[in-house]
């Protein structure tokens, strides 16, 4: 145990833990932002997991075929947006329950990616391109030469910065634009919003497409940023963690950023503990850590919300 604590402390001091945290955060954060947009519009999208899988496979397939990570990412995001638009059509036009539609998207994402991998690459478990392409890391000139600051701010994947900028973008969109006001009004009081002439259905369509956009970015990062391959069910519950972060972050972009950092920290600590020499903790217990953190976070949020209700 002392060796484990020593390893955690050492990797905290030399910023390795921080680097892993930033590496693990974008898919959770981007997925949560997608969930936030639909939650605010009153059509919560629980199909984030499936959208991320569709994007992850499409990105690595298109990227390896064209040799361009930009085309790969664009293809993945577009595929996720198309699926989310179809989800909007079934739930808003055909009146299929949004939760059922979300589950259908998750099942579809898990199935279609394995099917296409089997058809295109004759593989059922994973696909490693012969000429893989990756989303580049951003090295800031001069800053990367500074011992502490360089490791803190330079050398991270482009999607780390994109995900942080996405938080600012969502905050501005939700709280400083007429569209954001209409979207929040649609989610809180759709009847009242409709009476004021706000196109409720159109706003909800757009919110679901926004969720596809952010989930698409998250999926692209999984297959072209964190890795350069596609693995069956490689999201491993990240989409569901993202939905928990929406609640834990109090449905606010900056709260979601903080919540994503907490969940990414739990995942980073899991990775460090697993790779510590002489570790005696069972691997099954270690892999439970992010999900235990999820449950604890939701319980804390529920208690906090209950106390606010008592004193109002």
> Which pLDDT band, with edges at 50, 70 and 90, does 71 fall under?
very high
Q: Could you report the per-residue pLDDT of 33-68, keeping only the tens digit for each?
A: 999 999 999 998 999 999 999 999 999 999 999 999
CB-count exposure of residue 216 (10 Å: 0-12, 13-18, 19+): buried
pTM: 0.89
Return the sign of the alpha-carbon dihedral for residues 259, 264, 267, 273. negative
Determine the Cα–Cα distance for residues 212 and 30; give it in Å rounded to an integer: 10
Rg (CA), the chain: 20
| pLDDT recorded at residue 296 | 78
CA distances to 24, 28, 72, 99, 229 from 75, rounded to whole Å, are 22, 20, 5, 26, 15
| pLDDT recorded at residue 244 | 87
Q: Could you report the per-residue pLDDT of 270-307, keeping only the tens digit for each?
A: 777 776 666 666 766 767 777 777 777 777 777 877 77
Q: Could you report the per-residue pLDDT of 236-252, keeping only the tens digit for each?
A: 888 988 988 998 888 89
Q: Could you report the per-residue pLDDT of 197-229, keeping only the tens digit for each?
A: 999 999 999 999 999 999 999 999 999 998 889
Residue 222 — left, alpha, or beta (φ > 0 → left; ψ -120 to 50 → alpha)? alpha
Residue 250 — left, alpha, or beta (φ > 0 → left; ψ -120 to 50 → alpha)? left
pLDDT surpasses 80 at 99 = yes
Find out whether 81 and 212 touch, Cβ atoms under 8 Å.
yes
| pLDDT recorded at residue 2 | 62
């Amino acid at each position: 145990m002392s060796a484990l604590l020593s390893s955690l402390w050492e990797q905290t001091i030399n910023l390795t833990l921080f680097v892993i945290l930033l590496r693990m955060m974008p898919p959770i954060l981007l997925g949560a932002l997608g969930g936030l947009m639909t939650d605010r519009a009153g059509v919560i999208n629980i199909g984030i997991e499936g959208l991320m899988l569709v994007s992850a496979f499409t990105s690595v397939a298109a990227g390896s075929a064209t040799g361009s990570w930009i085309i790969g990412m664009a293809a993945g995001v577009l595929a996720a947006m198309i699926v989310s638009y179809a989800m909007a059509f079934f739930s808003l036009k055909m009146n299929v329950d949004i939760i059922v539609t979300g589950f259908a998207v998750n099942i579809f994402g898990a199935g279609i990616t394995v099917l296409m991998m089997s058809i295109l690459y004759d593989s059922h478990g994973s696909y490693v391109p012969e000429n893989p392409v990756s989303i580049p890391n951003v090295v800031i000139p001069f800053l990367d030469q500074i011992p502490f600051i360089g490791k803190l701010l330079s050398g991270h994947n482009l999607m780390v910065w994109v995900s942080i900028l996405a938080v600012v973008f969502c905050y501005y969109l939700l709280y400083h634009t007429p569209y954001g006001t209409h979207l929040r009004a649609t989610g809180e009081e759709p009847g009242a919003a409709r009476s004021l002439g706000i196109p409720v259905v159109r706003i909800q369509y757009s919110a679901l497409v926004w969720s596809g956009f952010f989930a698409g970015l998250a999926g692209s990062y999984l297959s072209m940023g964190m890795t350069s391959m596609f693995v069956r069910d490689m999201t491993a519950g990240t989409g569901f963690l993202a939905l928990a972060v929406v609640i834990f972050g109090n449905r606010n972009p900056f709260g979601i950023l903080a919540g994503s950092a907490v969940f990414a920290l739990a995942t980073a600590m899991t990775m460090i503990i697993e790779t510590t020499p002489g570790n005696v903790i069972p691997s099954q217990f270690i892999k439970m850590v992010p999900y235990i953190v999820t449950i604890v976070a939701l319980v804390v949020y529920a208690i906090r919300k209950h106390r606010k209700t008592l004193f109002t």
